[in-house]
C-alpha cells in the first residue's frame, strides 16, 4: 500500500507540473526553407531536443550557447534553437516579425538570399540570418536617431537664440535616452560575440555538422576548416557592431559638445544683459549726481541768478555735459577691468608650425559649425 501511494503521488505531481508547464508557439524551418507551425509544452520540447529545462529558460537578454549539439540563441525577444537539420523559432507570434520570418528568413535558409554562407552547413546559414537581422535592426535604430539628433542640435546651437526651446530640449533628452539604450545593446552584442571569439572550444562547438556529418568532418580535416569559417563569420558581425558603436559614440560626443555650446551661448547673452544693466545704472547715477544742481535751483531761494534768462540753459547744459563726462569715465573704467588681458608675446623661434599631415578632417558639418560657434562665442565673451 505504501508503494502504491508513493507511485500515485509521483504521478499526481508529474501531472501537476505538466499542467503548469509553459506552451511554446514554435515555427520550424528546415534546410529547404519549408516552415511548419505547432504548439508544444516546454517539457515535451526539451525532451525531444535532448536538452534540459534550464536550457529553454532564456534568462539572459542576449546569449549564444551550445548544449548537446544544439545552438541556443537569444537576441532579446528572439529565441531560437538551431540543429544540423532545422531551426526552431519559439514564441514567434509575439515578436512582430512576420515580414522577416515569412518573407526573408525562409528564402535565406534555402540559399536564395544574400548570405555568404550558403555553401556551408545549415547552422552557418541560420546563425548568419539571425545575426544579419539583428545588425540590420540596430542599424535601423541608429539611422532613425541620427537625423533627429542632428536636426535638434542644429536648432539649439544657434548663437542668435536668447533662450532655449524647451520642446527641443525634451526631444533631445528622449533621443539621448534612446541613444544610450542603443549603445547598451551594441555593447552587449559585442561582448556576447567576443566571449565566443576568445574561446576556441566554443567556436568548435558551434560547428554542429562537423561532429554529426562524416562528410563535413572529412572536409574540415582535409582543407576547409569550418571552425575558421565560423570565426570569420562572427568576427565580421563583431566588426559591423563596432562600426555602429563608433557612430553612436560620435553622436554622444556631439551631444555633449553641443550642450557645452548651449551653456556658453546662454552665459554670453546673460553677460550682455548684465553689462547693459550696469551701463544703464551708471548713466542713471551720473544724471542724478548733476541733477542736484537743478534741485538746488528749485528750492524757491531768491537770488540774482534767476533774473538772467541765460542761466536756465547754462545750468541745464552743465548738468547734461557733466553727466555725460562722468558716464564716459565710468564706461572706460568698466572696459579696462572687463576686457581680457592680452596674451604674452611668444618668440617666433618657439612657435611650432602645424604639419599638413596632422590636420584632422571633420566629416560632420554640424560638428565643425559647433566648434566654430564655441570659438566665436568665447572670443566675444
Q: 280-313, pLDDT tens digit by residue?
A: 787 777 777 767 766 766 666 566 666 777 777 7
Entry pTM: 0.66
Q: Does the domain made of 16-113 have the CATH classification 2.60.120.10?
A: no
CATH architecture of 121-269: Up-down Bundle (1.20)
Query: Cα(65)–Cα(85) distance, rounded to whole angstroms?
Result: 18
Mean pLDDT by 10 residues, the chain (381 residues): 48 52 84 86 86 78 86 86 89 73 81 74 88 92 90 74 69 88 92 90 84 68 74 92 93 83 72 78 75 68 68 77 78 64 48 40 48 49 44
> What is the model's pLDDT at position 372?
54
Q: Residue ranges of the domains in the chain? A: 16-113, 121-269
- Taking alpha carbons only, the member of 152, 337, 184 closest to residue 255 is 152
Model pLDDT for residues 223-279, shown as the tens digit of each residue: 567 788 889 999 999 999 999 999 999 988 888 887 777 777 777 767 777 877 877
User: Burial code of 212-240, b = ≥16 C-beta within 10 A, e = fewer?
Assistant: eeeebeebbeeeeebbebbbebbebbbeb
> What is the model's pLDDT at position 182?
92
Q: What is the mean pLDDT of the chain?
A: 75
- SS3 assignment, position 266: helix
Amino acid at each position: 500500500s505504501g508503494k502504491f501511494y508513493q507511485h500515485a503521488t509521483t504521478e499526481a505531481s508529474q501531472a501537476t507540473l505538466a499542467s503548469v508547464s509553459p506552451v511554446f508557439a514554435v515555427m520550424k524551418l528546415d534546410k529547404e526553407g519549408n516552415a511548419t507551425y505547432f504548439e508544444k509544452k516546454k517539457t515535451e520540447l526539451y525532451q525531444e531536443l535532448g536538452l534540459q529545462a534550464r536550457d529553454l529558460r532564456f534568462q539572459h537578454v542576449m546569449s549564444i550557447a551550445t548544449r548537446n549539439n544544439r545552438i541556443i540563441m537569444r537576441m532579446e525577444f528572439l529565441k531560437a534553437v538551431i540543429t544540423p537539420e532545422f531551426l526552431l523559432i519559439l514564441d514567434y507570434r509575439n515578436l512582430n516579425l512576420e515580414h522577416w520570418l515569412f518573407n526573408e528568413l525562409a528564402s535565406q535558409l534555402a540559399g536564395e538570399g544574400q548570405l555568404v554562407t550558403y555553401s556551408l552547413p545549415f547552422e552557418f546559414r541560420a546563425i548568419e540570418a539571425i545575426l544579419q537581422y539583428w545588425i540590420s535592426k540596430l542599424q535601423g535604430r541608429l539611422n532613425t536617431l541620427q537625423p533627429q539628433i542632428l536636426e535638434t542640435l542644429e536648432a539649439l546651437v544657434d548663437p542668435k537664440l536668447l533662450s532655449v526651446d524647451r520642446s527641443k530640449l525634451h526631444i533631445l533628452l528622449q533621443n539621448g535616452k534612446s541613444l544610450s539604450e542603443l549603445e547598451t545593446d551594441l555593447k552587449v552584442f559585442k561582448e556576447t560575440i567576443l566571449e565566443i571569439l576568445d574561446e576556441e572550444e566554443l567556436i568548435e562547438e558551434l560547428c554542429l555538422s562537423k561532429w554529426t556529418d562524416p562528410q563535413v568532418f572529412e572536409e574540415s580535416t582535409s582543407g576547409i576548416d569550418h571552425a575558421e569559417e565560423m570565426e570569420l563569420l562572427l568576427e565580421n558581425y563583431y566588426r559591423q557592431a563596432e562600426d555602429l558603436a563608433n557612430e553612436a559614440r560620435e553622436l554622444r560626443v556631439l551631444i555633449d559638445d553641443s550642450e557645452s555650446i548651449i551653456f556658453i551661448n546662454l552665459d554670453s547673452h546673460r553677460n550682455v544683459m548684465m553689462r547693459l544693466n550696469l551701463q544703464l545704472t551708471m548713466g542713471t547715477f551720473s544724471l542724478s549726481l548733476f541733477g542736484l544742481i537743478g534741485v538746488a535751483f528749485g528750492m524757491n531761494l531768491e537770488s540774482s541768478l534767476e533774473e538772467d534768462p541765460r542761466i536756465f540753459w547754462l545750468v541745464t547744459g552743465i548738468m547734461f555735459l557733466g553727466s555725460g563726462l562722468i558716464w564716459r569715465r565710468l564706461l572706460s573704467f568698466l572696459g579696462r577691468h572687463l576686457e581680457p588681458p592680452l596674451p604674452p608675446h611668444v618668440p617666433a623661434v618657439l612657435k611650432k608650425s602645424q604639419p599638413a599631415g596632422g590636420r584632422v578632417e571633420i566629416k560632420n558639418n554640424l560638428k565643425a559649425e559647433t566648434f566654430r560657434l564655441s570659438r566665436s562665442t568665447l572670443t566675444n565673451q
